[in-house]
Amino acid sequence: MIQSFRLESGGLINRDKKISFKFNGKNYYGYEGDTLASALIANGVHLIGRSFKYHRPRGFFGVGVDEPYAIVQLYRNGETEPNIKATEQELFEGLEAKSVNCWPSVNFDVGAINNFLKIFLPAGFYYKTFMWPKSFWYKIYEPFIRRAAGLGTASIKHDKERYEHKYEYCDVLITGSGPSGLASAYSAAKNGAKVILAEDKSRFGGTLLTSEVNIGNQSGKEWADSIISELKEMPNVTVKNRSQVFGYYDHNMLVMSERISDHLPKTKKFHPKQRLWYIRAKEVLISSGSIERPIVFGNNDTPGVMLSSAAKEYMKVYGVLVGKKPLVFTNNDSGYETAIEFKKNGINPIILDTRKEPQSEIIEEAKNMNINIKNSYVVVAAQGYKKVKSADIAKISDNKEELGSIENIECDCICVSGFWTPTIHLASQSGNKTKFNEDIDAFVPGISKQNEKTLGAANGIYTLEETLKDSFEKGNQISKEITNNDNKVSFPNVVEKKSTVHDKFWCVPLPKGKNYKRFLDFQNDVAVSDIEIALKEGYRSIEHVKRYTTLGMATDQGKTSNLNGLQLVSKIENKVVPAVGHTTFRPPYSPVSIGAIVGREVGKHSKPTRKSPMHSWHEKNNAVFVDAGVWLRPRYYKRGEENLFEASKREAKNVRTNVGVCDVTTLGKIDIKGPDAAELLNRVYTNAWLKLPVGKARYGVMLREDGIVMDDGTTTRISENHYHMTTTTAQAANVLSHLEYYLQLVWPELNVNVVSTTEQWAGAAIAGPKSREVLRKLFPKSDVTNEGLPFMGYMEGDLFGVKAKIFRISFSGELAYEVNVESDNGYFMWKKIIEVGEEFGIQPYGTEALSTLRIEMGHVAGSELDGRTIPYDNSLEGLLSKKKDFIGKRSLSRKAFAAEDRQKIVGVVPLDKKTSIPEGSHLVKDSNAPLPNPKLGYISASCWSVEHDNPFSLAILKDGKNMIGEKLFVMSPLKNKVIPVEIVSSHYVDPKGERVRS
């Protein structure tokens, strides 16, 4: 293919480096420095997609971030990415892209039939039509909409690319490297401030790359280049291109996405694809410039209709002509600059100026170049389907309401300029109260809420000299306050052509008898008629009009459509624009990849993985692991072909008959020291703690202030003022914060220190009737008899040269011990336990067997202490001290907590002694009762009782105290199960607790 629209010379592209790429399966060539858009235009490709609603042909409208049309599906290095703007995507060797929204193809699109049926697709169409009948939604409407709509297809493959996050602090963050960004960065940097200058595009300089100006005897581009190279040399300055500051959050935190590798055929080794910067800036200078806004006219969405500034940039930066018979339609002087650029490149443009007799230096220059200028003229409608072929134009009356006779002139592109809209998104996001500027018919930043200032065109300042002056000064001023340096920068001499005022005209009236679609929002296909309907139907608030019509709700967030929409509402409503107000700008300014937001925290990096020191032993011995919070714990140890049920039954049974060992390292451990430690425990736990002797452990329950059980565990008095507290695995962090809250804020007079020691100790629970035999072998020098180490006793021991803490506590209901050693010795301890336990038939057991053992003995755990139960509900009321006050005690005397028929923990056994009971099932009196069937309680935990060899569950049951012996039904609609059951005591094993004391 020949690049038939490429100029012979010029542009900032590298013509020495040809780049091949594919679009919709066809091969093309472009140059290094092209975007996909500029390369396609150079090749004469103008049809790039179909519109969202009507599937009308779509071409290019802009040249950068504001592009509403040219959205493609990108293929790069075996991956695909949707929603890529062709105007932003830099060309690389082997790039492949495809149109979206086209089915079956961009040239023949079934959805375009919507266009001919557009009478059925007015504003609110989706709301009105797809509302009823309700049953149609899932089967008919939604699949239809999903196929016809959408801006591409997300990949369902795992994303192999790496995305990084970075946190940065700076004195001044400057968003945009146009004239105001460069000038302010330069003077702030000269004062020694730590500056970050962010530029969204690959090239620095903004409008300086395309405007005919002179700064200090240099062209705009030369000046920009010299400033940038100087800034890059300064150690206090970070200059970043391809970096979009897209969000302004609280306390001057801004987020920037840096596209590090998107412009390369593939990401370099050890490089991320993108990097998200969280920047906390002392001051922010917003230099985001302005976006040209369109004038609204008939069929103004036809490919070939585009912003005049874009046409100029395609010529000046990319050496590409957007057309060879251009029509420039303008209400201000900017259109003339585009026309002049065409003329310089040997193309004869025609200018239609809505103004009657404008006069300025730029207009004079155009006249001197013999450019055909038609004053008081408008484009009534573009003609042509897949590309502009001609334009219907007409003279317009001075009051801009009457059109003269329609003339048709041939053209292949219409370059529109309806003046400039400051890019106030970041300022608005920061909480700035924006105000309407009558002179430019647009909103500009007003009163700041955070430390931000807006410069240059983003602030509605449209002359270079004023912009530079203001920006040099602001950069100096704010940095001076931070660094106390005042290094004045000499102001360069600026030459620019003066322009005259623009015409506030923005929408061409319809000629009589014609009903052209005049589009406001090009990405969401919102036309003038849609807004009119919305207002007719009674929508008033601009926020409602927006949602009803979807104006400005597309991925471009209405960058080119917002103001014209407001103009229209204000005209119909006969209100001034500021009275209509604008919709809220929200981050992100431009779409950001989900990958960049997620960063490195994907897959196994999404959360830390904590492993006990014995983990490698478990792995070697066929442990199947389960996530317990961030911990990995053995769920069971697989032997042969065993499944979970068989293995856990074997392990639990072995604990009841012989002895088992379980890794309990994950239990929360808190070291408590200080003369008031006992007093703290006495206030935190519900039972009495002041008289616990040294060398003894006690079980305790702690409540929240509202009386709900927070956690349980044992605490051991190691020495006079030293206690060792254990918590459940899940609540470890909360309990520590809870203790710190009371010690620091409520009872600072208590002299106590608390610190987490969870990771300092490795723990093993040795449980079963033969556990004492194992202990004897482990600690031959210690007296571990029932007298030497009684139930709830504690001692220190010597485990083959390793110091150990031995607690005689039990979670399983059997005679049991917990041995703790320093984490580094955990593996050694475990090996020794297995070794000496072999002769007693010791087996490791996992969390599944652990659960079975605790459930059948009725020991409550997380599924009962679920943040909804009080001590009574868990049959822990015996632990409530009557003599002393404690956290949450007062709440227990609230009426509901003292109700006679209060819920209580019970045991549940299926009548057939066979059917397993699903956890979470409901308990009801009558399984056939009409719905809603009154629920009496719920199953909190289920197991297969190894003691009785039948299923057993725990439940929290209304009036549980009086329900023992009752026959009820367990219902699980989810599992479609109804099971007749008997209510029994929650202590299904050794109800008198003799074994633990044996």
Partner 1 sequence: MLHIKCPHCGMRSQNEFSYGGDATVKRPELGKEISDQDWDNFVYNRKSLRGKHWEFWQHLSGCRQWIKVQRDTATHEIFKTLKANEEIS
Report the site for partner 1 in 115-174 (rule: CB under 8 A). Answer: 167
Query: From the list 891, 915, 916, 933, which residue makes contact with partner 1 (rule: CB under 8 A)?
Result: 891
User: Toward partner 1, which CB reaches closer, 740 or 759?
Assistant: 740
The 548-577 site mask, x for binding partner 1 (CB under 8 A), equals ------------------------------
505 binds partner 1 (CB under 8 A): no
Instruction: Provide DSSP, 764-813.
Output: EEEESTTHHHHHHHH-TTS--STTTS-TTBEEEEEETTEEEEEE---SSS
218 binds partner 1 (CB under 8 A): no
Q: Encoding tokens for residue 608?
A: 């830390």
| Cβ neighbours for 768, distance < 8 A, ≥ 6 positions apart | 654, 655, 656, 657, 658, 659, 660, 812, 814, 815, 816
The 892-911 site mask, x for binding partner 1 (CB under 8 A), equals --x-----------------
Query: From the list 579, 594, 746, 898, which residue makes contact with partner 1 (rule: CB under 8 A)?
Result: 746
| Cβ neighbours for 601, distance < 8 A, ≥ 6 positions apart | 607
| Cβ neighbours for 433, distance < 8 A, ≥ 6 positions apart | 446, 447, 449
251 binds partner 1 (CB under 8 A): yes
597 binds partner 1 (CB under 8 A): no
Instruction: Provide DSSP, 969-991.
Output: EEEETTTTEEEEEEEE-S--S-T
Which residues are bridge partners to 906 per DSSP? Answer: 955
Distance CA 822, CA 833 (A): 15
Phi, psi of 262 (to 5 degrees): -60, -20
CA 445 to chain centre: 27
Phi, psi of 529 (to 5 degrees): -60, -30
232 binds partner 1 (CB under 8 A): no
User: Toward partner 1, which CB reaches closer, 233 or 250?
Assistant: 250
Instruction: Find the shortest distance in angstroms from Cβ 930 to partner 1.
Output: 36
Choose one: 20-28, 321-329, 349-357, 741-749; the region binding partner 1 (CB under 8 A). 741-749
280 binds partner 1 (CB under 8 A): yes
Instruction: Cite the DSSP H helix spans in 449-541.
Output: 464-483, 528-536
CA 150 to chain centre: 20
User: If DSSP codes are grouped into helix, strand and coil, which group holds residue 389?
Assistant: coil
Query: From the list 705, 912, 926, 949, which residue makes contact with partner 1 (rule: CB under 8 A)?
Result: 705
919 binds partner 1 (CB under 8 A): no
User: Toward partner 1, which CB reaches closer, 429 or 812?
Assistant: 429
CA distances from 791 to 400, 693, 694, 695 (A): 97, 14, 14, 11
253 binds partner 1 (CB under 8 A): yes
User: Toward partner 1, which CB reaches closer, 640 or 748?
Assistant: 748
Q: Encoding tokens for residue 277?
A: 């910067």
Report the site for partner 1 in 622-651 (rule: CB under 8 A). Answer: none
User: Toward partner 1, which CB reaches closer, 481 or 796?
Assistant: 481
Choose one: 482-490, 551-559, 599-607, 890-898; the region binding partner 1 (CB under 8 A). 890-898
Instruction: Find the shortest distance in angstroms from Cβ 685 to partner 1.
Output: 13
User: Toward partner 1, which CB reaches closer, 18 or 607?
Assistant: 607
CB 23 within 8 A of CB 30: no
Choose one: 384-392, 497-505, 736-744, 849-857; the region binding partner 1 (CB under 8 A). 736-744
User: Toward partner 1, which CB reaches closer, 71 or 739?
Assistant: 739
Distance CA 453, CA 440 (A): 19
791 binds partner 1 (CB under 8 A): no
868 binds partner 1 (CB under 8 A): no
User: Toward partner 1, which CB reaches closer, 274 or 450?
Assistant: 450
Choose one: 27-35, 366-374, 551-559, 745-753; the region binding partner 1 (CB under 8 A). 745-753
Query: From the list 346, 431, 780, 980, which residue makes contact with partner 1 (rule: CB under 8 A)?
Result: 431
965 binds partner 1 (CB under 8 A): no
693 binds partner 1 (CB under 8 A): no
Instruction: Find the shortest distance in angstroms from Cβ 452 to partner 1.
Output: 14
User: If DSSP codes are grouped into helix, strand and coil, which group holds residue 600?
Assistant: coil
608 binds partner 1 (CB under 8 A): no
What string of H, E and C letters represents the secondary structure of 552-578?
A: CCCCCCCCCCHHHHHHHHHHHHCCCHH
Instruction: Find the shortest distance in angstroms from Cβ 895 to partner 1.
Output: 9
Q: Encoding tokens for residue 280?
A: 């906390």
Choose one: 5-13, 65-73, 250-258, 847-855; the region binding partner 1 (CB under 8 A). 250-258
Distance CA 807, CA 765 (A): 9
Instruction: Find the shortest distance in angstroms from Cβ 669 to partner 1.
Output: 16
* Buried-state track 158-175, b at ≥16 Cβ within 10 A, e below 16: eeebbbbbeeeebbbbbb
Instruction: Find the shortest distance in angstroms from Cβ 192 to partner 1.
Output: 21
User: If DSSP codes are grouped into helix, strand and coil, which group holds residue 842?
Assistant: coil
User: Toward partner 1, which CB reaches closer, 657 or 734?
Assistant: 734
* Residue among 877, 872, 917 at smallest CA distance from 897: 872
Query: From the list 225, 532, 573, 706, which residue makes contact with partner 1 (rule: CB under 8 A)?
Result: 706
Query: From the list 8, 16, 233, 250, which residue makes contact with partner 1 (rule: CB under 8 A)?
Result: 250
Distance CA 561, CA 52 (A): 15
Find the largest Cα–Cα distance for the chain. Answer: 114
One-letter amino acid at 258 equals E
CB 765 within 8 A of CB 790: no
Instruction: Find the shortest distance in angstroms from Cβ 250 to partner 1.
Output: 5
Instruction: Find the shortest distance in angstroms from Cβ 584 to partner 1.
Output: 16
User: Toward partner 1, which CB reaches closer, 751 or 950?
Assistant: 751
Query: From the list 135, 370, 574, 737, which residue makes contact with partner 1 (rule: CB under 8 A)?
Result: 737
Instruction: Find the shortest distance in angstroms from Cβ 66 to partner 1.
Output: 28
Instruction: Find the shortest distance in angstroms from Cβ 740 to partner 1.
Output: 6
Q: Total residues at the site for partner 1 (CB under 8 A)?
A: 26
User: Toward partner 1, which CB reaches closer, 748 or 965?
Assistant: 748
CB 332 within 8 A of CB 499: yes
Pairing of strands 95-99, 243-249: unpaired
Instruction: Find the shortest distance in angstroms from Cβ 741 to partner 1.
Output: 6
699 binds partner 1 (CB under 8 A): no
Choose one: 127-135, 231-239, 416-424, 887-895; the region binding partner 1 (CB under 8 A). 887-895
Report the site for partner 1 in 285-304 (rule: CB under 8 A). Answer: none
Query: From the list 2, 745, 896, 974, which residue makes contact with partner 1 (rule: CB under 8 A)?
Result: 745
Query: From the list 748, 801, 930, 932, which residue makes contact with partner 1 (rule: CB under 8 A)?
Result: 748
Distance CA 86, CA 41 (A): 11
Q: Encoding tokens for residue 665?
A: 């390292």
Cis link prior to 133 (omega < 30° from 0)? yes
Phi, psi of 840 (to 5 degrees): -100, 5
User: Toward partner 1, which CB reaches closer, 896 or 931?
Assistant: 896
User: Toward partner 1, which CB reaches closer, 891 or 916?
Assistant: 891
Instruction: Find the shortest distance in angstroms from Cβ 706 to partner 1.
Output: 5
CB 336 within 8 A of CB 330: yes
Q: Encoding tokens for residue 983?
A: 């209510």
**Could you list the residues that contact partner 1 (CB under 8 A)?**
167, 249-253, 278, 280, 431, 449, 683, 705-706, 737, 740-741, 744-746, 748, 884-886, 890-891, 894
